[in-house]
Amino acid sequence: MSKAEKQKQFPKDLFRLDSLADDIKRNMVSQLGNDPRNKRKFPYFHALGHSVRERLIDMWMKTQGDYYDSMTKRVYYLSLEFLPGRFLMNYLTNMQIVDECKQVVEELGFSLEELEEEEWDAGLGNGGLGRLASCYLDSMASLRIPGYGYGILYDYGIFYQSIRNGNQEERCDNWRRSGCPWEIVRRSTLFEVRFYGRSEAYHNVDGKVCYRWVDTDNVMAVPCDILIPGYGGEHVSNMRLWAAQSSREFSLADFNRGDYIGAMHGKVMSENITKVLYPNDQFVQGMELRLKQQYFLVSATFQDILRRYLKRHVSLAALPDAVAVQLNDTHPAIAIPELMRLLMDEHNLGWEVAWDICTRTFAYTNHTVLPEALETWPVDLLGRLLPRHMQIIYEINRRFLEGVAQKYPGDTERLSRMSIIQEEGGKRVRMANLAIVGSHTVNGVAALHSHILQTGLFHDFHEYYPRKIRNVTNGITPRRWLLQCNPALSRLITQAVGPDWVCNLDKLRELVPMAEDSAFREAWAKAKLDNKRNLARYVLRKVEMGINPNTMFDMQFKRMHEYKRQLLNVMHVISLFNLIKDNPSAGITPRTVMVGGKAAPGYYQAKLIIRLINEVARVVNSDEDVAGRLRVVFLPNYCISQAEKVIPAADLSEQISTAGMEASGTGNMKFSLNGALTIGTLDGANVEIMEEVGEENIFIFGLKAHEVAEKRRNGYNPREFYENDPELRRVVDMIGSDFFCPDDSGLFRPIFDSLMNHGDFYMLMADYRSYMDAQSAVSALYLDQKEWVRKSILNAANMGKFSSDRSVMEYARGIWNVEPLEG
């Protein structure tokens, strides 16, 4: 019997659906103090949330009991960010009670959709790193992999983006201000986290030199659990998020002296640690706060891990057999010296024994190919904030470099490159080097990315540890990114191939022959059109702009960064605009180009590109010659709940980063899974998507990663492309002039300069013509709707590899050495 069939047989009466309406009313009174007769949406959403959570807690407790009874090894996934989106529909989808809940809610006088819109996206992450972590938690629960996610309970997300006069404006993302029905705060379980102080040497009873960390400032970590149901709802894990609570209470003495601010100062400063996701680290205070966040997460988590482990074990020697810790990027890499400190200073183990335990416990996932993006910390900052850890890092480095020197005698440059301590330009701790040295396995997140790690970024380490660096290509959960967000298409797929695809995405390959069936193609196209109409209504509500669902929906939604090349997309839009203006009667494939994404508050160039997109949109959308053939929309505040509306409606997915710069990407997978065709470079997971869907079903353009590197080595000159391509020259000149900013002279000159005078680092000029040719092929194919829909079906049908279930099983068997619990 398949997993999906087993889950289909799971008795839904365990969720007590017959009493759900009564429980919603009860929670309206007992949890919220509201009269159920007052039909307001927000209280009813909260009451529904509490009622759903109650039904999951029983299964969560059973799952925890199974963990203890089986004495199984557990996985601890440490991530400074998660990006779960909204919880309500995800819970109902995985519990398989959407229809039943919809009926109950309608009987109470609401639609499920309007209650869903009352929920704020959880502000626990920013981009792909956090979304990947959330997909993996969903897969771990659905696959019955014993484990937990560990992170921070931020009071405020990164920011809420709005657009004013074309510019990005940031506002506090106060996502918890009205309460969150999913949180289970465990105030009786507190852990003390220490900062500052000094490391003190002493002799123990055996005369051995030992160390203790003294004279510290302390903060308390409060655990908050949010449940993660696997598909079927029978296996329920959780992510544990930490909130900071001051160990120093309100100072009555200061208050009585009239120092009202001073009375609260210590408490407020301590609890700032978990206030905001990613404080601005351009200043020393922000940098220190960010490092505090990382250690706060690590310290509280390892106290919790050892508490749980020591319930059933006496010796710490077996810790790696019971605990697997995955470091999601370098943010939690301070866990390596922290575990060494705990083992040596708190549990009296010697260095060799402690280091063996440590290196068999940790694995590290790298998420970047850019050397400048690798995290480092000033030695003086880390030494002041965490003095004992700095000592341990120095000792790790000394012992490691001794081994390197023995293998490569006299190679001082190699020693300098591989050292955990960067000497040039001020001493800094290289967290990626620390994570590699302290982990048994390091993985990249796409085949190309891992190859670049082995042959480029971490080449020295790959030579020294030839079996340590490997690949696990990222994946996405099909529960969230098809079943939940695209019910129309999900129903069609289930009718065609059965329900097993939800937990075995390879089953989608059975759709391949359906691509030749005209009736199935017609149904597929109708599902897409319905999704486009839904998005058009959302866009009208969000930005008061009408868009035509019968045009091609050309989408680029992702974090704003120059290497992701939203600017290249804009250059294509300007070219189309010029084409129409030059020949208003020309036959143009009608397009609606939509862009969304946040720029970091201090990233001036990315914010300027947002302004350019909006100014181009203003010119294009107000031109009568262009009307009906080209429309440009920037959708503000891109987030998970918005992605769930955008992705099912996409015809074309823009994945156009400079080759060799995107580690993997997961947006490319989500769009393809929902039937969008991809236009992209051979970067990140695009390479593997092309291999799966076939070169004939994807639009590939531009330089390859090795060609980008070769051009840089040989002296790249963007002016050659400018001089030799009149169409490109016209586009660039329009950006550099005041065509799109007549009232703000020189506004976009920095963009012009980046292309023409500052080296065009991301090689837009080199890829422009190839991109334009690929876009012409897109336009031609879209006019042949039969062939377009056929390729759309084939894209979705061949996305089985990119399920996060496959990724998690590769981690489980190849890195964590964990097997799923028996069902």
Which residues of the chain are modeled with pLDDT < 70? 1-14, 247-268, 280, 823
Residue 733 parent element (H or E): helix 726-736
Q: Which of 301, 666, 678, 681 is catalytic?
A: 666
Q: Which of 74, 440, 564, 565 is catalytic?
A: 564
**Collapsing DSSP states into helix, strand and coil, what is residue 266?**
helix
pLDDT value at position 271? 81
The 10s digit of each residue's pLDDT in 680-717 is 999 999 999 999 999 999 999 999 999 999 999 999 99
Cα distance between residue 339 and residue 360, in whole Å:
12
**Collapsing DSSP states into helix, strand and coil, what is residue 595?**
strand
What DSSP designation does 38 have? Answer: S
What DSSP designation does 422 have? Answer: E
> Is 581 considered catalytic here?
no
The 10s digit of each residue's pLDDT in 569-608 is 999 999 999 999 999 988 899 999 999 999 999 899 999 9
> Is 564 considered catalytic here?
yes
- The separation between the first and the last C-alpha atoms of the chain, rounded to the nearest angstrom, is 12
Residue 32 parent element (H or E): none
User: Which residue from 514, 509, 595 is spatially nearest to 560, judged by alpha carbons?
Assistant: 595
User: Which residue from 636, 648, 651 is spatially nearest to 544, judged by alpha carbons?
Assistant: 636
> Is 12 considered catalytic here?
no
pLDDT value at position 1? 47
Q: Which of 25, 480, 558, 790 is catalytic?
A: 558
74 and 322 in contact (C-beta within 8 Å)? yes
pLDDT value at position 654? 98
204 and 187 in contact (C-beta within 8 Å)? no
- E strand intervals along 259-337: 323-328
| Cα–Cα separations (whole angstroms), residue 348 to 205, 321, 437 | 12, 20, 23
Handedness of CA 325, 327, 332, 333 (dihedral sign): positive
pTM of the prediction? Answer: 0.95
**Beta strand pairing status for 217-229 and 362-365?**
unpaired
Q: Which of 3, 55, 367, 430 is catalytic?
A: 367
Handedness of CA 637, 639, 645, 649 (dihedral sign): positive
pLDDT value at position 279? 73
> Is 598 considered catalytic here?
no
DSSP string, 171-234: E---TTTT--TT-EE-TT--EEEEES-EEEEEE-TTS-EEEEEES-EEEEEEEEEEEEEPTTSS
CB hemisphere CA count around 469 (13 angstroms): 30
Cα distance between residue 210 and residue 336, in whole Å:
19
Q: Which of 240, 462, 479, 559 is catalytic?
A: 559
Q: Which of 440, 629, 670, 791 is catalytic?
A: 670
> Is 670 considered catalytic here?
yes
Residue 492 CB coordination number (10 Å)? 18
Handedness of CA 361, 367, 370, 375 (dihedral sign): negative
The 10s digit of each residue's pLDDT in 361-391 is 999 999 998 888 899 999 999 999 999 999 9
> Is 559 considered catalytic here?
yes
The 10s digit of each residue's pLDDT in 484-528 is 999 999 999 999 999 999 999 999 999 999 999 999 999 999 999
